[in-house]
Chains A and B, each alone.
Chain A
Amino acid sequence: MSAPLLQVSDLSITADTAGGPYDAVRSVDFALDRGRALAVVGESGSGKSLTALAIAGLLGEKLTPSGSVRFDGRELIGMGAADRRAMAGRRIGFVFQEPMSSLHPILTVGQQLEEGLRAHFDMNRRQRADRVRELLDIVGLGKARDIRGDRIGQLSGGMRQRVMIAMAISCEPELVIADEPTTALDVTLQRQVIDLLGSLRERLGLALMLITHDLGVVAETCDEAVVMYGGQVVESGPTATLLHDPAHDYTRALLMSIPVLGDDRPRLPTVASIAPWLRDARQDAADLRPVTELVTVAPGHRVRREAEGVAA
């Protein structure tokens, strides 16, 4: 088996806040092979979106990544801006969560779909137009009516998300990172988007990194999953294993909180209340954090456990 397309090792992200530096993401490791799908699961604030942005090179000014992110052998952390730009869109595509605000309000759909093409290819007007038509066709927006001249405000939510996806794959990247692509959608649209992502993966041989908190989506689309909590990886492994035989309490709690048909309990179970070292923003609260490490319990299956023989 060749080297993984994406290898994340010891990735940490530090935030420059008013109260001092804060470790938003600590020591994240995982790998993704070509053509495979990986889910990064967690609740809000777990650091999953930041991890995705760090890989894509889209972190804001106050966030500094450290560690290693190797894409096709090249180290992304610390890469120069021009090289990063050359890769953005062309080799790594990104689908954002909220298409209404992530798409330009005034530029037309056609204009926006061309932006990636303009940045990476030397195409003339006709070629770009052809490619745009092709992209709309691929995501299933080719038949109904020609939306190239429309503005995103004139489209429905589902259509907007498809445009977002079309933009992400416009330059034929090898990896697509999708940050909660289904969260803002209703159930029927979620179905469509998941199916679309699946068919695109097959058709284009894409590797997919899916950020989500929806375990149902994970079960359907992803071969492997990484569970994050409090900025750290708490468990990672094949999806099937995580769903049926989770080793970490948090993963178990997540699974138990999924409502089941026929459940007649008066209250849904909730996940354990917030960890003390996250609730308390003081730096010395970090002392409350138990010392842990990732332990391999089975081939490809790792769990975070309290480190043996180390006092808290």
Chain B
Amino acid sequence: MSEMTVPTTTSIEAAAARTVRPRLWRRLLHRPIAVVALILLLVMAGAALLAPVLAGDPNAFVAVERLRPPSAAHIFGTDNLGRDVYSRTVFGAQASLTVGIVTAAITTAIGVVLGILAGMFRWFDAIVMRIVDGVMSFPIIVLALAMTAILGPGLGTVILAMTIVFVPGMTRVVRSSALVASELPMVDSARAIGAGSVRIFWRYILPQATTPVLVQAAITFTTAVLVESALSFIGAGLPPNVPSWGASLSEARSYLTSAVWMWGFPGLALILTVLAMNIVIDNVRDILDPRAGGR
């Protein structure tokens, strides 16, 4: 019987890290639809970042040029006030994506902290999870509106309301990753060779949670973008001078058939952004958990 060198936990985890992450990317890039989706996201991100460079002033209007269909001068046409729809769409990307990313980032930060605490300390888990779960089932737009009533409308209120409702989801993901990770045999063996709690957390538990957290952050992003657009649509979201997609759609309500471009382009931009992210999320989940059979 040949002798085998006993693999150490560090070498196992190093080998695992080397294989899972790059393998994920490589496999993702082999899926054509995922690639298209990633490109789309890059385009939207580019639009958001480079808005001033790519388009003119979204609020500039020429009254005479109202409701013009797409043309050379205005490739997406103009709206009811004579503003350039293309410009409003590009700046809308900036507004909506910013809200989405900021919300996702804050939610992730808070959720990770709470989730780890819940995973590591039973008492924290018992108390906080009850409260946190309660908020998850509450309709977010109702909560956002209620908070707007007291704190006034605006970006901050919207992000605050969304964060409150999205944190439970992230907390649960982190918590279950932490719980699963802490029961892995490699944690026991690390403890057996004298690794302290901090090292265990850093080297073993945190890496396990990275991908689920990223996936959940992406989901939070898509939900935030959708909710923000809904709030802006009814006028309770971003301030009126900010050209968000939701606001553009709301302004087009009286011109649904007469000026399809006015709501068509922002609407398409919104749907495509969310769809692209959802496609990426689905593909990542499918790669990580093939058992689910392409869910």
Contacts and interface: CB of A to CB of B under 8 A. Distances in A.
**A–B: direct contact at CB < 8 Å:** yes
Interface of A: 270, 272-273
A270 B1 CA distance: 8
Interface residues of B, number: 2
A63 to B, nearest CB: 16
A270 B2 CA distance: 11
4 contacts: A270-B1, A272-B1, A273-B1, A273-B2
Nearest to B2: A273
A272 B2 CA distance: 9
Contacts of B2: 273
Contacts of A272: 1
A17 to B, nearest CB: 12
Interface in B1-26: 1-2
B211 to A, nearest CB: 21
Nearest to B1: A270
Contacts of B1: 270, 272-273
B289 to A, nearest CB: 15
Nearest to A273: B2
Nearest to A267: B1
A106 to B, nearest CB: 21
* 4 closest Cβ pairs, A-B complex: A270-B1, A273-B2, A273-B1, A272-B1
A257 B1 CA distance: 13
A51 to B, nearest CB: 24
B23 to A, nearest CB: 12
Contacts of A273: 1-2
A19 to B, nearest CB: 14
B257 to A, nearest CB: 49
A276 to B, nearest CB: 12
Nearest to A271: B1
Contacts of A270: 1
A43 to B, nearest CB: 15
A226 to B, nearest CB: 26
Nearest to A272: B1
